[in-house]
Amino acid sequence: MMKMDCEKLCPEWPCEPPEEYKDVWVVVEAEEGKLSEASLQMLTPGRAIADKLKENLVGVLLGYGVSQLAEEVIKYGADRVIVVDDERLSTYYPRVYGSAVVELAKKYKPSVILVAGTRRGREFAPYVANSLKAGITADCTDFDVDETTRDVLLIRPPFAAILLAYIKTPFRRPQIGTARPNVFPVPKRDEGRRGEVVLERVEIGQESRMKLISRRKVEKARAGVEKASVIVSGGRGIGGPEGMEMLRRLAELLGGTVGASRKAVDAGWADHEMQVGQTGKSVKPILYLAVGISGSAQHMLGVREAQRIVAINIDPEASIFSQADYSVVGDYREVVPALIEELEKIRKGGVKALREILES
């Protein structure tokens, strides 16, 4: 940490020595009596930062009827959980939820606050940051600690995604960051792990200027790309919506779902929810099959966690070939139907059919 010269800083910022701030917080969202997987994932980088700083990892759990979930947060790696179980938090409003976090942060002075980049997280986190007059870094892909200054480095790709920027907030605490779901794994659950649960109260009133009128769960007809173990993704090279249908058939045969590049989404062939990449979803399938996708840095950022990438592209110079495990040079209009045909045989004939194909 640099020496503070309050005269040089914006007077909007409270000039407080950063040494007063301790511990790494992860705001843990709960919905319908369950912890959100995306927030559990944030305990992974949270634990790593806390260990580097030799500070505690603290889960912050807000809601109504959430107390019984506190022990779970500890089993996933927290040392302590601060719980606010309050009827006024039974309906989520960004300002109510955000203000509750702000109040707790003013009392406890954490040095770091991590928030999962779910839709809600992305909505309330910048409110928390601004209300604390602190900086915030969105969509981090990694974190580190500067050993000399003890500043946390919030690492994220700027728009080109070929670089990683190391961002810090040397004069402000807490240091706040979000990460998209699936960028980090859920930590291992340790049944025997013990920790402290602190019940807290907050002053915040009910949101009186905004009211939830209705809420309904939308049954997503097709499994989302986030959870799929096989994804067949189409890019601009598929040339139209019919191409997407062909990929859907292939995905079905492989027991997976379909994804898309941004160009395929922009062309209207695929839903935004299916977009993979920096401004879409981060995915972690066993098999990612990229069809008619060139391999832009922004797209590939979303598939870093894929175990295997297979590409089909007509252009022998396509940059995806140097970023995939197995690539076939060819026109997908020929290769994909052939693949569908063989897989149909295998679906029908099982191992025997598979052997025949391999031996021929």
Ligand X SMILES: Cc1cc2nc3c(=O)[nH]c(=O)nc-3n(C[C@H](O)[C@H](O)[C@H](O)COP(=O)(O)OP(=O)(O)OC[C@H]3O[C@@H](n4cnc5c(N)ncnc54)[C@H](O)[C@@H]3O)c2cc1C
DSSP letter at 275 equals B
Q: Is 237 in the site for ligand X (CB under 6 A)?
A: yes
47 binds, among other proteins, ligand X, none (CB under 5 to 8 A by kind): none
171 binds, among ligand X, other proteins, none (CB under 5 to 8 A by kind): other proteins
- Partners of 106 in beta bridges: none
Q: Is 182 in the site for ligand X (CB under 6 A)?
A: no
Q: Is 269 in the site for ligand X (CB under 6 A)?
A: no
**In the complex, what is the shortest distance from the CB of residue 126 to ligand X, in angstroms, rounded to a whole number?**
18
In the chain, how long is the greatest CA-to-CA distance? 79
Q: Is 282 in the site for ligand X (CB under 6 A)?
A: no
Among 4, 15, 314, 329, binds other proteins (CB under 8 A): 329
**In the complex, what is the shortest distance from the CB of residue 55 to ligand X, in angstroms, rounded to a whole number?**
34
Tokens of 328: 């076939």
Q: Which of residues 59-98 bind other proteins (CB under 8 A)?
A: 93-95, 98
64 binds, among other proteins, ligand X, none (CB under 5 to 8 A by kind): none
DSSP letter at 345 equals H
Q: Which of residues 273-302 bind other proteins (CB under 8 A)?
A: 278-279, 286-287, 297, 301
220 binds, among other proteins, ligand X, none (CB under 5 to 8 A by kind): other proteins
CA 33 to chain centre: 21
For residue 339, CA distances in Å to 244, 343, 357 come to 15, 6, 11
The smaller minimum CB distance to other proteins, of residues 199 and 338, is found at 338
- Cα dihedral angle (319, 182, 103, 106), rounded to 10 degrees? -60
Following DSSP, what letter does each residue of 32-61 receive, concatenated? TTEE-HHHHHHHHHHHHHHHHHT--EEEEE
Angle (CA) 355 330 351, round 5°: 10
Question: Which spans of this chain sit near ligand X (rule: CB under 6 A)?
Answer: 159, 235-237, 261-264, 275-280, 292-294, 296, 298-299, 302, 312-315, 318, 331-333
